[in-house]
Amino acid sequence: MDAEYTLSDERRATLAVVLDLLIPPDTARGLPGAGEVCVDAIEATLRSKPMFRLTVEPGLDWFGNREPGTGNDALAALQNEMPAFVPTLVFLTYSAYYQQPRVVEALGVEGRPPHPRGYAMEPSDLDALLSKVRARGRMYR
Amino acid sequence: MTDPAPVDVLIIGSGAAGAAFAWSMADTKMNILCLEQGDWVKADDYPGVGMDWEERQFGDFGLSPNQRGRREDYPVNDSESPIHASMFNAVGGSTILYAAHFPRLHPSDFRVRTLDGVADDWPLDYRRLEPYYDINARMMGVSGLAGDPAYPPKELPLPPLPLGVLGERLADGFNRLGWHWWPSDSAIASQDYEGRAGCVNAGTCLVGCPQGAKASTDVTYWPLALRAGVRLQTRCRVREITLRDDGMADGVIYYDADGVERHQRAEVVVLACNGIGTPRLLLNSKSKQFPDGLANRSGLVGKRLMFHPYALVRGIFPEPLEGYKGATGCCIISQEFYETDAARGFVRGYSFEMLRGMGTVFTALSGMGSGHIESGAHHHDSYERLWDRTAGMVAICEDLPEERNCITLDPELKDSDGIPAPKVNYRLSDNSQKMLAHCVERGKEVLAAAGATDFLVEAPLGVAGWHLMGTARMGTDPRTSVVNEWGRCHDVKNLFVIDGSIFVTSGGVNPTNTIQALALYIADTMKQNLANLFD
Ligand SMILES: Cc1cc2nc3c(=O)[nH]c(=O)nc-3n(C[C@H](O)[C@H](O)[C@H](O)COP(=O)(O)OP(=O)(O)OC[C@H]3O[C@@H](n4cnc5c(N)ncnc54)[C@H](O)[C@@H]3O)c2cc1C
Ligand code: SF4
């Protein structure tokens, strides 16, 4: 762990662009793009887990130097040229994005940790549901 | 530095078995000490109190000790096994992470040789263990529903956990096919119980339960055992068991929290390090009298490892199922395919244990892995088709014992104290492969009956090396077993094994309830035989 590690401004800007390629904003669903909500989280992961820097930094530099088109074309070019970079970044991005309170709320779950409040659940009518099973009688030997 | 004063009973390992045993022995008022290599986990340390709870399953709360790599974990070389070791090292042991699905073995499981002509019968039967299952149900606080036709009658202290939308949906699938299902016996308090708060359906069970509703033994047996005078020393890792000249165990050598080597002497040594940790310790305790490892004159220490091959079968449903709510692995069980049916082409059988859905992060990552979720312009559409629309099950297949499946000591790999690490050699048998193929098809069939339109399958499930059994089996013949019918080593009469290592066969259910019933039974038998314990 290298407590001082930060991404340069250029790499941060490139990261935001690439993240939006992976998970673009979707206003209809109320979902931000990953570029808006994941840059800090991914920088923090690179700080705490230096092994990810080995694939992420060269990928960002390659992309930053070339700007290879837009949308899925850019993603395809990146995948072609830097095959280790994309799956690593997808893993980091999905992990970071889907724990953002704004994202979780847009998916219909309260944007808070599961504990301590948990979730309410209704009891089932077990007598009705189990009547067939009970009617079978003893099954063990 | 002087060595600590001798004790009467020394327990190694504070997990499911060690805790139950310690509590039961406490009323003897003997001087009882437990050494545990891990530490207490505080409620606030559990991932479930943070938004990053799913991500931490890839880090400090990972299933594999190799992935976590904490000082208290020892590495396991499982590169020669399709199923990888999962466990936790802390007060409470692997119950810190377990799903707390808590079925009993069936009466038939103790008689597989007699009934089906395979493996061996156990030297005890269901009736012998039944009173200890009952005590364990009260001590752990088991929730469930009486009347399951797959079992002899049993009483459980708490009502079942809720099925939820997802559980009802799956139950409907089973009912349509006329297959057995039942609300799971769960070591999770469905309401406040004996000072523990009831389950709040938060669904983080596999990274621990900050609520204390899940019966990890740090919140069940241990507080009572400690109050009754048992001592528990954490961050103490045992290297080997020492022997007296007369061949009886003398105590253990361990490294304390500061890494200092100590010799703890004891009248009785009890191993509760699980089906990998226990044979590792025995094999690492070599002497002139036991050149192949302690208590290993049968040659069976470490052999006959059984895992329970798992199949994971999930279905994708057209509408949301509220699957993020509820205890992860405790919903309903099916034992439709539990008993042998020769027409299926394999012997013995399996249970289906229904799972809740996945959290938001796991949905994304598993969808990425299976190809159901894409990155880029269509990401949100593909995510929506999966999010909260998966439900399914694991099948827990009975694993028959084979000597080639084993734990040995790795010649190179060591833990942070320099103790040799265990190595796993394991292959799936033909019987297991046929059983896995069967349960995948039957799993899909019932999910389709419940309305699923697409499936996600992993069989065998690679991470599922969490049921560790058979590596120091019990039996009446010292030539073909390591311990006798109450856990005492045939070769060393003051050395006992009380964890899943002593299982003769695996059954097709999760083992912890039986591990603890056995530990309680062994403690009781020891108490009844105190005067002639070593005869
Ligand atoms: C993810 C997961 C899910 C599971 N789900 C279920 C389930 O739903 N139902 C079920 O029945 N079972 C389940 N299990 C299995 C269950 O956790 C185990 O069966 C049970 O905990 C085994 O009990 P044990 O006492 O034998 O060993 P453990 O609970 O593993 O405890 C062994 C203890 O010994 C200590 N130890 C080992 N070696 C040494 C040493 N040399 N010195 C000092 N201390 C040592 C360890 O640190 C550990 O704390 C699950 C396990 C996992 C990992
Ligand atoms: S669902 Fe229940 S048992 Fe599981 S972690 Fe939450 S409160 Fe604990």
Between CA B103 and CA B331 the distance in angstroms is 12
Residue of B200, B207, B218, B324 with the most ligand 2 atoms within 8 Å of its CB, for mutation: B200
Q: Contact, B451 vs B317, CB < 8 A? A: yes
Cα(A103) to centroid(ligand 2), Å: 23
Pick the atom of ligand 1 nearest to B237's CA.
42
Q: Which residue of B has its CA nearest to A95?
A: B361
pLDDT along chain B (535 residues), means of 10: 91 99 97 98 97 95 96 97 98 98 98 98 98 98 97 97 98 98 98 98 98 98 98 98 96 97 98 98 97 98 98 97 98 98 97 97 96 96 98 98 98 97 98 98 98 96 98 98 98 98 98 98 97 89
Residue B363 counted as domain residue: no
**Which residue shows structure tokens 């069989």?**
B459
Residue of A nearest to B112 (CA): A141
Contact state of B376 with A21 under an 8 Å Cβ cutoff: yes
B241 SS3 class: strand
Bridge partner list, B354: B393
Q: How far apart are CA A116 and CA A61, in angstroms?
A: 42
How far B203 CA lies from chain A's nearest CA (Å)? 7
Q: SS3 for A81?
A: helix
Count of domains for chain B: 1
In this structure, which residue's CA is closest to atom 6 in ligand 2? B202
Cα B201 to ligand 2 centre (Å): 5
Backbone angles phi, psi at B78, to 5 degrees: -115, 30
Taking alpha carbons only, the member of B170, B38, B51, B56 closest to residue B92 is B38
Q: Which two tokens stand for residue B533?
A: 């314990």
Q: What is the pLDDT of residue A1?
A: 61
Backbone angles phi, psi at B351, to 5 degrees: -110, 150
Q: Is the Cβ of A27 closer than 8 Å to some Cβ of chain B?
A: no
Task: Answer whether B49's CB lies under 8 Å from B200's CB.
Answer: no
Neighbours of B360 (CB within 10 A): 21
Residue A22 at interface with chain B, using a CB cutoff of 8 Å? yes
Q: Indicate whether B407 belongs to any domain.
A: yes
Asked if residues B439 and B352 have their Cβ atoms less than 8 Å apart, the reply is yes
Residue B360 forms contact with A (CB below 8 Å) = yes
Nearest protein Cα to ligand 2, atom 3: B214
Q: In angstroms, rounded to a whole number, what is the distance separating the alpha carbons of residues B132 and B104?
A: 11
Question: B222 CB under 6 A from ligand 1?
Answer: no
DSSP string covering B244-299, please? Answer: -TTSSEEEEEEE-TTS-EEEEEEEEEEE-SHHHHHHHHHHT---SS-TT-TT-TTS
Asked if B311 and B440 count as a contact pair (C-beta separation under 8 A), the reply is yes
Chain A residues whose CB is inside 8 A of the B145 CB are: 126, 130
CB atoms within 10 A of CB B155: 10
- Token pair recorded at residue A22: 């992976």
Judge whether A16 is closer than 8 Å to chain B, CB to CB. Answer: no
Kind of pairing, strands B406-414 and B32-35? unpaired
Optimal mutation site among A21, A23, A130, interface B, most CBs of chain B within 10 A: A130
> How many CB atoms within 10 Å of residue B343?
5
| Cut 0.95: pTM above it | yes
Residuewise pLDDT in 10s, chain A (141 residues): 678 899 999 999 999 999 999 999 999 999 999 999 999 999 999 999 999 999 999 999 999 988 667 778 888 988 898 899 999 999 999 999 999 999 999 999 999 999 999 999 999 999 999 999 999 999 999
CA distance B102 to B131: 16
Q: Is A44 touching B (CB cutoff 8 A)?
A: no
A113 and B CB contact within 8 Å: yes
- Tell if the CB–CB gap between A72 and B160 is shorter than 8 Å: no
Containing structural domain, residue B267: 7-357+389-530
Residue B162 lies in a domain: yes
- The CATH number linked to B319 is 3.50.50.60
For atom 50 of ligand 1, the residue with the nearest CA is B98
Query: Pairing between strand B310-316 and B390-397?
Result: antiparallel
Residue B1 confidence (pLDDT): 64
ipTM for the whole complex: 0.95
Burial degree of A128 (CB within 10 A; 0-12, 13-18, 19+) = exposed
Domain map of chain A by residue range?
9-111
